[in-house]
Chain A
């Protein structure tokens, strides 16, 4: 819900001039202005924080050839003006990192054909509007395997934010990974219906522990669930960023979003004129998804996790390789095939072995 999340700021970013009125792409001699719009606070230590790390990596890599700026906590319903302001402020490349920015970005992109736009997690494109996202589910497959190896009770707790395809495909990939180790594995899913509310996320973790889960994984943004499992002496995984500092004894690994490489490549493309409207969906092979350090586990589990990550990275292992069967027994992908990308991007069903129904 709006109005319930706030921000914070990492201070030491470049100071810009006041040239708000100039528009269009900067001249070749001038530095390229690149702007980022976040839906959450950069201080969430999760999703928006990782995007901002990407922005900093871009700034560090390009030096004085680019000037970057960002806006945080931008409400989706009020974002059109923000994108327009950025386009008018002379930014040549603008990244919007939340699904809800889709329509506003589409509208503004039409009005400013000379400015390039990049929208994360959306599906509508224009000649100057690209989309990009990461195959977060690849990481989920790896932690599914680790969880199945490490769990003594055979029941794993899963804290999910909202039933959107990104989250549901994550649950399915996690389950497929876990089933590849232990076909009898059970997963208990709790929908927090927030991306960020440390208190509620902690409650969800406690609830799952009370119901016999000994490993908790999360698709919400705060480190609160990890702190709960640390106290309880159980295990968990970090989300979006390497959260090992919050739970040094409990954390097994983290799925880390790594946007820096993409941001640098796209910025260079704008500078040398090769930028085209594309749809990028990169995973571990493109280094957009990384695994945090494998910790607190025996060597054989660690070796397995390393091997699985390497196989995914090398393109030898697809988490959604067949056979993939829905709860009702429908075969989505036969052995030897894989689930089509468009089915993953619009996923609204569970694989066999998960109890319960997708809400909504």
Chain B
């Protein structure tokens, strides 16, 4: 090599200090804010006002908190599922597709029961089931290919995202189009029987948000206690040891993919039933990809994911407020999200490892 690059050595800390674990993300957040503020200032706007609009104002009233919960719910659900995959060192990056197929399958039931007579209490549970199954089957395709043929799950799951989106696109523009919809690419609007009711009268959030919360709590309680969780972690950290301990790698792979696909499908169901109330060519503004980021920001732990889901939703909602009241472009929000991720991801490493710089070997 023409000139020497410094050599960086990472050493895993025996036990990450509590102080570092706590301060790391906060410091990272601070640095990202500083960089973001600098950008805002460069654009000739007040960074203080931006701080207020992005991060403080959205937290001040019940409406905004509900909007936050609605936005965070699908992200958190999917990230919880993905965290099982990632802890097992399996790279499911196709949650977006699993979400879309889940929503499509749930929507199918709503469309085909459209205008059905009363006594339709079974419709919502059936939609939920269809959504979960749809997501699960989509996720199992890369899992089965991985287990049986050793095909890289990273790329198959990513490719299936596009196939899923195009499937929905085809259905909505073709066979499932609302016959009375002037040829526009949307399905019929769902009946009340196929719509998730609001949490309380006049609420913006639907009851699905409670289900999300329940799943977070269950996942948090299970964490570190169940044999399954242990097996997943062991597979991720030391596959050989996992096999030696008698855990089937194939079975764990299938289970974690089914789990994450099922949760993504559940999120898809909630989105079409509780929010959109019909199918349209696109039912997700990229939730499945954002969920990957949420999973990592939350360090693959259920509570961490809950927090990360809210922080990321806050940047979206704050970003909209900044567009409305400060004329800060959407690009600013995205740039900031990127910066925030860079900072938090590096901080995470710095808390877990000791970093030392040395001259490269000569």
Contacts and interface: CB of A to CB of B under 8 A. Distances in A.
Given A75-B282, A103-B278, A360-B177, A6 B57 contact: no
Given A16-B327, A17-B325, A165-B184, A81 B173 contact: no
B323 A70 contact: yes
A86 B324 contact: yes
B327 A15 contact: yes
B119 interface: no
A1 B282 contact: yes
Interface string B22-42: 000000000000000000000
Interface in A65-107: 69-73, 75-78, 80-82, 84-86, 88-89, 99-100, 102-103
A72 B183 contact: no
Nearest to A168: B183
Contacts of A330: none
B79 interface: no
Contacts of B321: 20, 85, 89
B283 A77 contact: yes
A164 B184 contact: yes
A281 interface: no
Contacts of A168: 183
A78 to B, nearest CB: 5
Interface in B52-92: 52-53, 57, 60-61, 63, 67, 70-71
B185 A2 contact: no
B324 A85 contact: yes
A7 interface: yes
Contacts of A78: 71, 285
Interface residues of B, number: 47
Contacts of B327: 9, 11, 13-16, 69
B330 interface: yes
A18 B52 CA distance: 9
Interface string A4-47: 00111101011111101100000000000001000000000000
Among the interface residues A14, A16, A20, which one has the most CB atoms of the partner chain B within 10 A? A20
A102 B182 CA distance: 13
Contacts of B281: 1
A3 interface: yes
Interface string A273-294: 0000000000000000000000
B275 interface: yes
A246 interface: no
B185 A72 contact: no
Contacts, number: 125
B263 interface: no
A182 interface: no
B317 to A, nearest CB: 7
A347 interface: yes
Given A21-B61, A162-B173, A77 B326 contact: no
Given A7-B329, A85-B324, A165-B182, A1 B169 contact: yes
B177 A7 contact: no
A199 interface: no
Nearest to B321: A20
Nearest to A121: B184
Given A77-B284, A103-B277, A85 B184 contact: no
B324 A9 contact: no
A8 B324 contact: no
A162 B324 contact: no
B280 interface: yes
Contact of A72 (B49, B70, B182, B330): B330
Interface string B199-242: 00000100000000000000000000000000000000000000
A346 B317 CA distance: 36
A198 interface: no
Interface in B162-201: 165, 169, 173-174, 177, 182-186, 189
Contacts of A6: 330-331
Interface of A: 1-3, 6-9, 11, 13-18, 20-21, 35, 69-73, 75-78, 80-82, 84-86, 88-89, 99-100, 102-103, 123, 162-165, 168, 345-348, 359-360
Given A103-B277, A165-B182, 20 more contacts: A3-B285, A3-B286, A3-B289, A7-B329, A7-B331, A9-B331, A16-B326, A18-B57, A20-B321, A69-B323, A69-B324, A73-B330, A76-B282, A77-B283, A80-B275, A84-B67, A85-B320, A100-B186, A103-B276, A360-B174
19 contacts: A2-B285, A7-B329, A7-B330, A9-B329, A14-B327, A15-B327, A18-B49, A35-B324, A71-B324, A73-B330, A76-B282, A77-B276, A85-B317, A89-B321, A89-B324, A164-B184, A164-B185, A346-B183, A347-B183
Interface of B: 43, 49, 52-53, 57, 60-61, 63, 67, 70-71, 165, 169, 173-174, 177, 182-186, 189, 204, 271, 275-278, 280-286, 289, 317, 320-321, 323-327, 329-331
